[in-house]
Structure 1
Amino acid sequence: MRRWMKLHPDSLLSRLGSPNYLRWEAVANLVWVVALLVGPLVDRNAVWTTWLLPTLLSAPVYMYLHMKVYTGPYRRLTWYAAGMALLGLLVWPFNGVALGYVVSACMCLAYQSSARRWLLSIVLVTIPTALLSQHLHVSPWLMLMVAFVAIFSGFGHFLRLNNHRRDAQLRLSQEEVRRLATLAERERIGRDLHDLLGHTLSLVTLKSELARKLALVDPPRAQREMEEVERVARHALGEVRAAVTGMRRSDLAAELVSARLMLEASGLGFSGELSPDLHLPPQFEASLALVLREAITNIHRHARASTASVAISLDKDSIQMQISDNGCGGLTAHGNGVSGMRERIRALGGSLQIDSPPRKGTVLRMQAPLPVTDVCSETCLDTGSRSAA
């Protein structure tokens, strides 16, 4: 039994990422099996010696085939559904409710990736069903209604799965974009480090070789060469540290783009833009970017929201950032990373306010004064350079 229940790597559930709604749908489609026994029992004309044995024998076979539609190899899905339809045609003369086997098979055939194959399969199932209905003298209106339900239910399945496949392809495309962006960034870092260190290390090598040769012949000159090597090495070390700091530093624009990708890939609507005229000191902006990253991560993991927004405004002497969502609310002041955000804002001399009533979303309001010292120093340097010019 466990081997039968095992999910095949190329099954319908595996291809679609095993969505919960499809699992519940598979279980719900088995509930009607109860009608196989209830239907004949309430029919006064039914003779239990005629319908009971075929029904009891067919039910486990149907449940196995139905289960394999979702968990078995996808290439065999059509054959599993065809087996369900054939089973229904065999049991139908003994139990009229067994026509549901055929209806269920038509719905499962809609899980095929091609609409043409699905419609062709429906035609191939309809022909023997129509012939058998005439032999059993079933009302044409009843058969028309059953066909209507089977086709339109299958059509709904086909559209929903098609949309799910497109969403899965979109997520794969976004992951590929991130992978290519990461690869491009690694190549850029490699080029920058090569350009930064290549010439410097070559110079250090030449100077070191020269100092080694002069160590016994001209020790004072060898000492000067080694002092030059030390100066070049310290300068290169400072450039490497500055480059690494720039690589690690986050900025608000990049975090907004990352937030949009994360939330929209999870089906959340996102709104938030950054004014191109906003210029902040790097360390100050990096702290705000980390706060924004933590807040967006909390929304993605815990909020169960459908929309989120970020609003950033700048006054004469302060900056305000508001992050809101329409999720479950109930955010505590010391949980879900809020303490870390509060500490970062407090380190900037600002404050964090939380408005998170249960089931009414969450609003984070952050306010921090602009670093006047950095601005003044930049202005003074700019004024001094102009005066010197």
Structure 2
Amino acid sequence: MARAYTYITKYTSPNQNARNRKIAGITAHWWGTPSGQSPEGVVSWLCDKRAGTSAHYVVSEDTVWCIVDPDRRAWHAGNSRANHTQIGIELDPNASRRASTERTAAALIADLRGTYGNLPLSPHKRWTSTQCPGNWDLGRLDKLARGKQPVAVKPSKPAGSGKLVEDGRLGTATSKALQKILGVKRDGRLGPDTYKALQKHLGGNVIDGLIENQSYKPTELGNGVGPHGWQFTGRGSKGSATVRRLQRHVGVKADGVLYEGTTKALQKALNAGTFRAVSRPSGGASAPAKPAVQNGKLTEDGRLGTATIKVLQKRLGVTQDGRAGEDTWKALQKLLGTVVDGAVSHQSYRATELGNGVVPRAWRFTGRGSKGSKMVVALQKKVGVKADGVWFEGTTKALQKALNNGKL
């Protein structure tokens, strides 16, 4: 089932650091003075460095603000050990909002238990001298939480229905249904093998089994996602090419970040039988490229395959083996008048992402957002594209055009 509350993640408290102990419980707080303090104001204060304190969650009525990742240590308990072992929940103290806040807090606690196990619920005053959480009845709250089926362990495929519930949660049932389509082991846990099969299914050029630059942790998506092959890089991350392909395939906004909207669209496609494989173009990284030449001209497709490299090597007067390595880059550097060291440095894309005509050992991949290479800047200026120093499909396409027109 979907979350039983509105879940907001756009605010992050700086008052946190890494945990050094396993999560062992949940601690309840309240912010004490009902009048004059809105939930939004409390969130704003806890996200201010001057506060020197925080919580993982703030709960009011039907809304949950997650301001510290639960796998991180929030500064909430007034006790160092408890900060390392507890998940802190800040509860609205207003009596007029108690019933709705209680239902939401119970749902959140149930969800956390579904992810982290049967965590006990404790008052803040267990860890330090305080009256917090005031008049909150934690026995009642705990009972209500235990009477609710946790999101993370509730099957997303009801017995006998034959269809996935389209709830946006990436649980084991959805993962198994996807794995069945992809033809891999159906263990209900997504990992590198499933991601490789998905990348092939979507016609990707890179088959590395990695979902990178993600804004949400596997535990936030559902219990059908394993930690291996998933790269969480924090809120606001720029996303993954594989996820963008998936999003275009299922018809949602292609921002590269996998979350509930993408999962729901995937579930719908799996239910409708429309999640079909994309035909892979020639020149992809996972299979040898066919010669991309028609009527004596290179196909201007932006892929740096063997055919393009052979034409470039012919122009440079080096061995035409279709694989650009140190000798090819030295010759290109001489042609462009840059430093001749045989390396293409500071690149945002792996050699395998460009095509099968690039030798990895002379290619310096330093991660997305890299500053680029002076040689590539010179090449980009020569072929008439934006000179940012990073080689990708636009640069290759312009190079192909220049080679076809005899202008390199």
TM-score by length of 1: 0.27
Structure with the higher helix share, 1 or 2: 1
TM-score by length of 2: 0.26
- Decide which structure has the larger Cα Rg and report it: 1
